[in-house]
Structure 1
Amino acid sequence: MPEPVPTMPNSLWAATAPPPPPTTALAGEAHCDVAVVGAGFTGLAAALHLAEAGIACTVLEAAEIGFGASGRNNGQVIPNLSRMDPDAIVAAVPQELGGAEKGEAFVGLVRDSASLVFDLIRKHGIAAEAVQNGWIQPAHRPSRMRLVENRVRQWGSRGAPVRLLSKSEVAGLAGSDSWEGGWENRSGGRINPLGYARGLAAAAARAGATLHTRSPVTRITREPSGWLLETPAGRLGADRVILATNAYTPPGLWPGLARTVVPVRSYQMATGVLSDNIRKSILPEGHALSDTRGDLFFYRFDADGRLVTGGGLVIPFGWEGRIRDRIRARIARVFPQVGEFTFDYVWWGHIGGTQDKLPHVYELAPGVLAWTGCNGRGVGLATALGRELAKACAGVPLREIAVPVETRLKRILGHEFRALGTAWHVLQNRRNDSRD
């Protein structure tokens, strides 16, 4: 008897996003130029760009469009990496993968990633509650202002629209005096992420891409004519393959790929609709906000005036009651003006974490590309990487796309204890926060 297909969580985004385009499961035999596994931001952006270039593309999704992190995250569009600043990104690229030149190209990709998201939303008329009024990162301790100043200097020198913010400026933009200053990137913003994923899927379908949901890939094999992807009810032949599954990579999809990423639970929640007076006192200019903590504080509003936030837990046991209590206390501390409130929605999804906090793009075999490691910056990053992977599948040499491409997987030591790894990740963040 076949296993039941997972369904979307009862999230704010599932309740408010427009419906996805109609899809069916793959059945029988089919062929395409490029097969994409995973209908999240990366896979859908790749499919859209391939279809627009006239390249026959088919997306295979195990569950539903945006089922993974793409449909479950907080919806902040942030044009940087969570733990790595430009100088460190450049220094991390070895000479054999392109060195400083490739590192700077990748920094440029990240710098422009939020603008790419909002450009696609505008171009294709995607209903995603998109607001590009900027993203701010406040410093949670005076010592973190050194980090903030460094980030402004490094991103500003590379053309990003950034500025340093004083304590009073952050208080005005955030609606709270809980922070010590910070910085802003005007290209960032916020979206309904599931609406964005569904809109990308609809745009890709209009451009000519084929999308199959409820079609988990059970086997990928090399055939004389190319690659063969098998699902429970069908077989898809393809010349090239993109594996766009990140934190939701099943162990059997490709040898060793799942061991390059640790799925870290991130809990999301949305309050009830707040009154206009309270709404106008918090993030009054419509910014998205996430601070400098490892176990970060993050906030944004949806289109109806719900405060959307969340956090992490060391262990998932009894998670819903515990995360409600934890984040309720956090909101009372940071935004006491909210007063009494309820959470209308609480849900969770996996973030794809890597050991070195960097994303990694791999050429797994000739014609097979993959990436893992959003590390909490998936909206813009995944979209931009989808475009680059599409370029590679359209014939652009790998050395010319704006990201280093590796052939050796960076497996995570002790990956079999990834549940403990998630607990370690949260504990380490809290410990680091207390030291700063």
Structure 2
Amino acid sequence: MTEDLDKSLWYHSCAESVTAPSLMGEVVADLAIIGGGFTGLSAALHAAEAGASVCLIEAHTFGAGGSGRNVGLANAGLWLPPEDINSHLGARVGSRLSGLLANGPNMVFDLINKHQIACEPVRNGTLHCAHAPSGMKDLKRRHAQMTAIGAPVTLLDRDAAVARVGSDQVHGALFDPRAGTIQPLAYAKGLARTALAQGANLFENTPATSLAREGDRWIIETPQGRISAPAMIVATGGYTRKMAGLDTPKVVPVHYFQSATAPLSEEQRSKILPGLEGCWDTALVMSSWRLDQAGRLIIGAMGELGHIGSFVHQGWLQRKLVRMFPELADVSLEHTWHGRIAMTVEHLPKILQPDPSAMVCFGYSGRGIAPGTLFGKHMAEALLTGGTDGLPVPPVTSHSLPFAGLRGGYYETGATLMHLVKDQL
């Protein structure tokens, strides 16, 4: 799937440019990182800033996996509201995680500002929109839980939400001013550029073929080289390749597809998302929409484009676009792409620690930007200092997810059936 990244709008509008060679020969480092997405690149940057020697390898190009296919919403939390997080993790751990994630957008936008990453940052908040009157029940529950822990969120009625979105297809919204939108591939490449500037060794087109613990060091083999390091992070998420010596973490493979219109006219832009918030809805088969810097509308939903029934998703997308924004009936869709999300049953990220000197992170369940940046930083700090108390979630030594592939098929079948019948004009 990584070969079709050039179908993405983000590939064509990316203002950040960074390249790195393939690994040839042996590199000795304090920290080895596998995976060049938000998590791995954040870990590399923060470790290098702390003075550690770092070696990161990416099987393709930086951001070629889920990071470069993202919707681009930098949110202040996970899919789960705070009390649901606490029910899984306990009040103490859950409250700490929610507190850290509340600061996630600050971390992202501070990095962007500090290192002048050209990724179209707009911090005007996000709107979680009720797709139907029944969706307001969920938003009210989330609003109550989030305000209870001090989140500055506002519940909007239907009229206010319609005015913000520019569509009568929303029935209310939860506004979070802490969040914003970015060009996700450019953010990933900007992190890579900055990590290189801080002295990290980064390599593209370098898959890990095997890894093993030898004495007090990890040995990571690649097609033409090897890395030796006392500590290691595996941050490949939904794009994890098979590596000898690593049991691939089980996740539910869920796909998300998007299309981008041609740039809208000034008149259209004055009516559709005039405040430039990023949006997603409360529907069971979720959809999202936002504008980019050039005024393109990016609209998407759960679903995979790599199978024979993908025409169902694309047909629904055109209907959805016109139903939400009738004035865009004649606007062409110029880019269409999809990506894979690594989801856990609880919709909570995991840090698997098979050895005190190694961490495997996965399961952001579609919320990769701020959590990935945060988890990467904290994992690097934990491995370099030898303490895990600062990690966002307690590490676990094992992880299982029965019938992960079947669960993924269930989600895709449901999304396809829903898109077959929804929004008929």
Aligned to 2:276: 286
Alignment of 1:202-217 (within 5 A): 202-217=193-208
Residue number among 209, 212, 230 corresponding to 1:218 in the alignment: 209
Output the CA distance in 2 between the equivalents of 1:254 and 1:86. 36
Q: In structure 2, do the counterparts of structure 1 residues 429 and 376 end up closer, same or farther at CA, with 3 Å as the change threshold?
A: farther
Q: In structure 2, do the counterparts of structure 1 residues 254 and 286 end up closer, same or farther at CA, with 3 Å as the change threshold?
A: farther
**1:427 to partner: Cα distance:** 6.4
**1:399 to partner: Cα distance:** 2.5
Aligned to 1:412: 401
Aligned to 2:96: 105
SS at match of 1:398: coil
Residue number among 353, 360, 382 corresponding to 2:372 in the alignment: 382
Aligned CA RMSD, in angstroms, stands at 2.3
What are the superposed Cα offsets for residues 114-163 of structure 1, whole Å, 9 maximum, x if unpaired? Answer: 22111111111000001000001111222222221121122222222211
Q: Counterpart of 2:132 in structure 1: which amino acid?
A: R
**1:17 to partner: Cα distance:** 0.5
SS at match of 1:117: helix
Aligned to 2:31: 34
346-355 vs 6-15, greater mean Cα deviation:
6-15
Q: In structure 2, do the counterparts of structure 1 residues 344 and 401 end up closer, same or farther at CA, with 3 Å as the change threshold?
A: same
Question: Given that residues 296 and 311 in structure 1 are in contact (C-alpha distance below 8 angstroms), is that contact kept between their aligned partners in structure 2?
Answer: yes
Question: Given that residues 262 and 422 in structure 1 are in contact (C-alpha distance below 8 angstroms), is that contact kept between their aligned partners in structure 2?
Answer: no
Output the CA distance in 2 between the equivalents of 1:163 and 1:389. 33
Q: Counterpart of 1:412 in structure 2: which amino acid?
A: L
> Does residue 359 of structure 2 align to residue 397 of structure 1?
no
What are the superposed Cα offsets for residues 339-394 of structure 1, whole Å, 9 maximum, x if unpaired? Answer: 31111101111111112221111112121101111111111111111111112122
Q: In structure 2, do the counterparts of structure 1 residues 46 and 237 end up closer, same or farther at CA, with 3 Å as the change threshold?
A: same
> Does residue 360 of structure 2 align to residue 363 of structure 1?
no
What are the superposed Cα offsets for residues 406-428 of structure 1, whole Å, 9 maximum, x if unpaired? Answer: 1121x221235466244256369
What are the superposed Cα offsets for residues 18-76 of structure 1, whole Å, 9 maximum, x if unpaired? Answer: 24323111111111000010000000011111011001111110000001010011111
Aligned to 1:96: none
Output the CA distance in 2 between the equivalents of 1:420 and 1:402. 30
Q: Counterpart of 2:86 in structure 1: which amino acid?
A: V
Question: Given that residues 293 and 429 in structure 1 are in contact (C-alpha distance below 8 angstroms), is that contact kept between their aligned partners in structure 2?
Answer: no
Q: In structure 2, do the counterparts of structure 1 residues 7 and 51 end up closer, same or farther at CA, with 3 Å as the change threshold?
A: farther
Output the CA distance in 1 between the equivalents of 2:277 and 2:124. 6
Question: Given that residues 27 and 55 in structure 2 are in contact (C-alpha distance below 8 angstroms), is that contact kept between their aligned partners in structure 1?
Answer: no
Aligned to 1:345: 335
Question: Given that residues 54 and 200 in structure 2 are in contact (C-alpha distance below 8 angstroms), is that contact kept between their aligned partners in structure 1?
Answer: yes
Output the CA distance in 2 between the equivalents of 1:422 and 1:9. 26
Question: Given that residues 8 and 64 in structure 1 are in contact (C-alpha distance below 8 angstroms), is that contact kept between their aligned partners in structure 2?
Answer: no
> Does residue 41 of structure 2 align to residue 44 of structure 1?
yes
Aligned to 1:53: 50
Output the CA distance in 1 between the equivalents of 2:32 and 2:414. 34
Residue number among 223, 226, 233 corresponding to 1:242 in the alignment: 233
Question: Given that residues 309 and 416 in structure 2 are in contact (C-alpha distance below 8 angstroms), is that contact kept between their aligned partners in structure 1?
Answer: no
SS at match of 2:6: coil
> Does residue 326 of structure 2 align to residue 329 of structure 1?
no
Q: In structure 2, do the counterparts of structure 1 residues 274 and 5 end up closer, same or farther at CA, with 3 Å as the change threshold?
A: closer
Alignment of 1:36-435 (within 5 A): 36-82=33-79, 84-93=80-89, 99-252=90-243, 255-258=246-249, 260-313=250-303, 316-318=306-308, 321-395=311-385, 397-409=387-399, 411-417=400-406, 420-424=409-413, 426=415
Output the CA distance in 2 between the equivalents of 1:36 and 1:380. 19
Q: TM-score w.r.t. structure 1 length?
A: 0.91
User: Which runs of 5 or more structure 1 residues have no equivalent in the other structure?
Assistant: 94-98
Question: Given that residues 208 and 243 in structure 2 are in contact (C-alpha distance below 8 angstroms), is that contact kept between their aligned partners in structure 1?
Answer: no
Question: Given that residues 162 and 186 in structure 1 are in contact (C-alpha distance below 8 angstroms), is that contact kept between their aligned partners in structure 2?
Answer: yes
Q: Counterpart of 2:146 in structure 1: which amino acid?
A: W
**1:222 to partner: Cα distance:** 0.6
For these two proteins, the number of residue pairs brought into alignment is 422
User: Which runs of 5 or more structure 2 residues have no equivalent in the other structure?
Assistant: none
Aligned to 2:14: 17
Output the CA distance in 1 between the equivalents of 2:376 and 2:155. 31
Question: Given that residues 76 and 189 in structure 1 are in contact (C-alpha distance below 8 angstroms), is that contact kept between their aligned partners in structure 2?
Answer: yes
Q: Counterpart of 2:17 in structure 1: which amino acid?
A: P
Output the CA distance in 2 between the equivalents of 1:20 and 1:34. 25
**1:321 to partner: Cα distance:** 4.1
Output the CA distance in 2 between the equivalents of 1:107 and 1:425. 30
Percent of counterpart pairs with the same letter? 33
Output the CA distance in 2 between the equivalents of 1:305 and 1:416. 38
